[in-house]
Amino acid sequence: MSVSRNQSIGLILAGGKGSRMGFKDKPFLRIGGRTIAQWILSQSEKHIDEFLFSLKRNHIKYHQFGHKIVCDISELSTGPLIGIYSAMEFLYQERGPNESTFILTFPGDVPFFPETLIPTLMHRIEKSPLDVVVARSEQHLQPLFAAWTLSAREKVKKFINKGFVGPRQILPHLNHQVVFFEAQSELEFLNINTEQDLETAQYLTTNPL
């Protein structure tokens, strides 16, 4: 049995400051004629029908994508974990506690990832009673490419209250699984943190190795 499309919600984590990029909204950076957000959506829409954007600022700009926006519940906490929890709370209030719901998270500054990533994460999270399934590439954990069960909401809240800010920090305390994905090109899992990263991605989209 596979996870049905209406059980899976895509969450694009776009709450970063983009300080190393002159405080730009990185999901709107253009690579090969598309924004990073458009690349993420285009690769995901074949598996997922509903998406949320996790934001801290510039909400109006994101309405153009036609998806719901979730703001962080608390201004006192920083980092992607509060964005994930805020989406969990939003869906809990919307769907109730008995809904079998899975959240697929995507960092808003990584435009490319393996084709098998989403179906593999969805299959693993449905197959076993886990809180979260996290991707790994080569020697690097990719904690923002993950599938979460909505039932992990209270656990995540507890660790946020203890001061945790990122998924990597709480993994040892959760029932989790790590899945390895082999990148098929230098573009996959390339994080756009700097202008140099952006130039590299722009070059590789037109000059694949």
Q: What is the pLDDT of residues 81-138, one digit of tens each?
A: 999 999 999 999 988 765 578 999 999 999 999 999 999 999 999 888 899 999 999 8
DSSP 135: E
Secondary structure class of 66 (helix, strand, coil) = coil
pLDDT at residue 99, rounded to an integer: 57
Nearest residue to 137 via CA among 146, 147, 126: 146
Q: Is the pLDDT of residue 5 over 60?
A: no
| pLDDT, average across residues 35-61 | 91
pTM recorded for the entire structure: 0.92
DSSP 175: -
pLDDT at residue 139, rounded to an integer: 78
* pLDDT-above-90 percentage for the chain: 70
Q: What is the pLDDT of residues 137-167, one digit of tens each?
A: 987 999 999 999 999 999 999 999 999 999 9
pLDDT at residue 1, rounded to an integer: 37
pLDDT at residue 209, rounded to an integer: 62
CATH number for the domain formed by residue range(s) 5-206: 3.90.550.10
| pLDDT, average across residues 186-190 | 94
Q: What confidence tier does 46 reach under pLDDT thresholds 50, 70, 90?
A: very high
Question: Where do we find the tokens 């993994």?
Answer: 171
| pLDDT, average across residues 180-191 | 93
Q: What confidence tier does 58 reach under pLDDT thresholds 50, 70, 90?
A: confident
Cβ-based neighbours of 31, under 8 Å, separated by 6 or more = 39, 111, 192, 198, 201, 202, 205
Instruction: Report strand pairing: 34-35 vs 30-31.
Output: antiparallel
Domains of the chain by residue range: 5-206
